[in-house]
Amino acid sequence: GGGRVELYSWLVVEGWVPQVLHGGVEFTLRRDDGIELAILVLDTDKQPDEKKELGLRAQGKHVEWVSTRDIFETPHNVIERIKEALQ
């Protein structure tokens, strides 16, 4: 899907090993404290799926939404946001 392959590539370039779930719609990275960060790709014209986010949070994951527009237009900003979320 749009932006997902690009985001995966950026994550790998950073030296991270993203786990791919739900057919690539979602990636997870493990923080140093063991908590998983779920990275959800949001197609540009869509709203975040609150039910999905609540379900992930209920599993103890942190959630970061990333829009396809940002992946293509400002990938470095996306990576910085993910780095901050991994702190």
Whole-angstrom distance, CA of residue 3 vs CA of residue 11: 12
23 backbone dihedrals φ, ψ, rounded to 5° = 65, 30
Q: Stretch 47-56: mean pLDDT, rounded?
A: 90
Model confidence, pTM: 0.86
Q: Token pair for residue 86? A: 């991994």
Please check the confidence at residue 44 and state whether its pLDDT lies above 90: no
Average pLDDT, the chain: 90
**Model pLDDT, residue 68:** 92
Q: Which element (helix H / strand E) includes 70?
A: helix 68-73
Whole-angstrom distance, CA of residue 71 vs CA of residue 26: 14
